[in-house]
Structure 1
Amino acid sequence: MTDTEAAGSAGTQLPPTEREFTVRQRTQTQLVLRRFLRHRAAMVSLVVFVLILLWAFIGPHLWHYSYQKYTPDNSQPPSGKHPFGTNASGYDAYAQVMRGTQTSLKIAILIALGSTFVGAIWGAVAGFYRGFVDSLMMRIADLVLTLPLFAIALVISSRSGGSWYWIAAVIAGLTWAYVARVVRATVLSLREKEFVEAAKALGASDARIIFRHLLPNALGPIIVNATVLVATGILTETALSFVGFGVQPPDTSLGLLVSQAQTAVDTRPWLFYIPGAFIIAIALTINFIGDGLRDAFDPRQQRVRQ
């Protein structure tokens, strides 16, 4: 190769700073996952939340004390034998906090699942049909939204005997309307898209369009609202248990543990602050996970540089 040819060949190569970035189209799932993984607060919160789940549901099977078992160590501060101390009756607080966390999480997750299931279908049907059907269904949802959540849950829970699944069902029955309104707004936008018109032209039934096309495309707002409902559920359950209308002994929950320890804040503070710290930790991690999911499902971000 001559010097002229070598110079020409070298001249065609652009420096790294001037090369064009390669942009590769990814699937929506890949985009969502990539953006979520890059959200540091959400990822840290997800790890913490998973560890709390494992600790609450697997820990009781590995711990040598039961939350219902008396010990001779009454009112002991945290130690190697009792990491969270004991109460005046000799119950191991570590075992009780594990059980309380498990019960509170079961209630919160059941609330989120029940509210999301009912609210998503209700909102999708209302948004798809519009007109009279939409008006009637959303007026019912508005009526549910006007009901005082805590007062109604308190009255009904007081008649349920303190069963955690009844408490979850009552709260879910009063919170589904929040999801319904969000899903309806999303479906009103989606129903005008070309893929819905194409499905109608091909003879797809209304049920198929709603469940096969509209709801999957509204999955982002649905998942984000489900995470918010987990935090809402655990805080509502905590409030009910704190005033004595939530979970009842011999079972326990984080709210009930805080309620039982409120008179011992000065003498045995570990009984009050430790379950309270778990309530705060769960609510915060769920909120950060919800923020990460909201950002990950942001439709304005369609392509990611390679």
Structure 2
Amino acid sequence: MTDIQAPGSPGTEVPRSENEFTVKQRSQTQLILRRFLRHRAAMISLAVFLLILLWAFIGPHLWHYSYQKYTPDNSQAPSAKHPFGTNSSGYDSYAQVMRGTQTSLKIAILTALGSTLLGAVWGAIAGFYRGIVDAVMMRITDLVLTLPLFAIALVISSRTGGDWYWIAIVIAGLTWAYVSRVVRSTVLSLREKEFVEAARALGASDVRIIFRHLLPNSLGPIIVNATVLVATGILTETALSFLGFGVQPPDTSLGLLVSQAQTAVTTRPWLFYIPGAFIIAIALTINFIGDGLRDAFDPRQQRVRQ
């Protein structure tokens, strides 16, 4: 007599269906990265921004002219020898735009890092403790938000000597409040979650809860606001330098190059429009990257893109 075994009994192989499939589990980080990589505008903008970054920081070491070196070719139009032309003093505009882009990017990135760090910590502490601590810290934040950013930055920058790092510090000191309010609202909702209660029950200190649990879980809004602050930093620096209160010669920046070429718009337009185009390109790419990050971290705001 032949033994009949149930399909699920040991030693019996159940044939797999041709339509059977497995589901691959992805972590939250993988899902965010996948959504960001599918954002076409953000990916194109990221590629453009990285190219500008590499060109600005590596290009000066490969180019045969220095931004401080005179050439005998005064007021030359763009050519193979001088791709962006030269100004009336004989400076190679290609070298100067590279240096100006580098300086402007350093100011923008330092501004974003400084204001994001200060604003995130300030907002996390206010949101975690609430009560009188929250009230006092948020009133200080409201005071900073009411200050006229450009006017205060102009006054302070005029007394810093035009060094790029002082300009970045000034702008960061006036923009951190925007990040603070966003992080505070996020922390207010996170502090009531189960993982925070579990950390308290295990004896975690307030400092550990804020920096180990709350801030990492607020990373999405923090990163998105940091990208916005990069654009804010470069545009504010451009305006300050354009008015003569930003970066000072012999150094240069994109805003300073535009300011110096404003009288030559009709006679030598390349001196004005080329650095202006780089300002627009950097601001636009940063905004598109921020848009992609926002959609990646919060898929509820994601728009349908073909």
Same fold by TM-score, threshold 0.5 exceeded? yes
Give 1:304's aligned residue. none
Give 1:266's aligned residue. 266
The superposition leaves residues 69-111 of structure 1 with CA deviations (integer Å, 9 ceiling, x where unpaired) of: 0000000000000000000000000000000000000000000
- Deviation, 1:26, is 1.2
The separation in 1 between residues aligned to 2:142 and 2:168, in whole angstroms, is 21
The separation in 1 between residues aligned to 2:103 and 2:257, in whole angstroms, is 12
Give 1:170's aligned residue. 170
The superposition leaves residues 236-290 of structure 1 with CA deviations (integer Å, 9 ceiling, x where unpaired) of: 0000000000000000000000000000000000000000000000000000000
Letter in 2 for 1:197: E
The separation in 2 between residues aligned to 1:135 and 1:36, in whole angstroms, is 36
Give 1:197's aligned residue. 197
Give 1:96's aligned residue. 96
The separation in 1 between residues aligned to 2:95 and 2:29, in whole angstroms, is 40
The separation in 2 between residues aligned to 1:20 and 1:241, in whole angstroms, is 64
Letter in 2 for 1:88: S
Give 1:127's aligned residue. 127
How many correspondences in the alignment?
Answer: 286
Letter in 1 for 2:30: Q
Letter in 2 for 1:225: N
The separation in 1 between residues aligned to 2:146 and 2:34, in whole angstroms, is 39
Give 2:240's aligned residue. 240
The separation in 2 between residues aligned to 1:84 and 1:206, in whole angstroms, is 56
Give 1:255's aligned residue. 255
Letter in 1 for 2:224: V
- Deviation, 1:190, is 0.5
- Deviation, 1:13, is 6.8
The separation in 1 between residues aligned to 2:31 and 2:142, in whole angstroms, is 35
**1:120-159 alignment, distance < 5 Å:** 120-159=120-159
Letter in 1 for 2:71: T
The superposition leaves residues 143-179 of structure 1 with CA deviations (integer Å, 9 ceiling, x where unpaired) of: 0000000000000000011000000000000000000
Letter in 1 for 2:102: Q
Letter in 2 for 1:272: F
- Deviation, 1:300, is 4.9
- Deviation, 1:42, is 0.4
SS of 1:280's equivalent? helix
Letter in 2 for 1:159: R
The separation in 2 between residues aligned to 1:20 and 1:268, in whole angstroms, is 68
Give 1:37's aligned residue. 37
The separation in 1 between residues aligned to 2:101 and 2:20, in whole angstroms, is 52
Q: Kindly report the root-mean-square deviation, in angstroms, between the aligned alpha carbons of the 2 structures.
A: 1.4
Letter in 2 for 1:287: N
Report the TM-score, using the length of structure 1 for normalisation. Answer: 0.91
Distance 1:21 1:192, change over 3 A: farther
Give 1:296's aligned residue. 296
Letter in 2 for 1:286: I
SS of 1:248's equivalent? coil
Report the TM-score, using the length of structure 2 for normalisation. Answer: 0.91
The separation in 2 between residues aligned to 1:150 and 1:20, in whole angstroms, is 62
Give 2:3's aligned residue. none
- Deviation, 1:22, is 5.5
The separation in 2 between residues aligned to 1:286 and 1:206, in whole angstroms, is 35
Give 1:59's aligned residue. 59
Letter in 2 for 1:39: H
Distance 1:135 1:20, change over 3 A: farther
The separation in 1 between residues aligned to 2:163 and 2:69, in whole angstroms, is 21
Give 1:275's aligned residue. 275
Letter in 2 for 1:65: Y
- Deviation, 1:298, is 1.0
The separation in 2 between residues aligned to 1:266 and 1:209, in whole angstroms, is 60
Letter in 2 for 1:105: L
The separation in 2 between residues aligned to 1:148 and 1:175, in whole angstroms, is 11
Bigger relative contact order (CA 8 A; separation at least 6): 1
The separation in 2 between residues aligned to 1:57 and 1:238, in whole angstroms, is 19
Distance 1:234 1:21, change over 3 A: farther
- Deviation, 1:24, is 3.6
Verify: 1:83 aligned to 2:83, yes or no: yes
Letter in 1 for 2:269: P
The separation in 1 between residues aligned to 2:21 and 2:58, in whole angstroms, is 48
The separation in 1 between residues aligned to 2:148 and 2:261, in whole angstroms, is 28
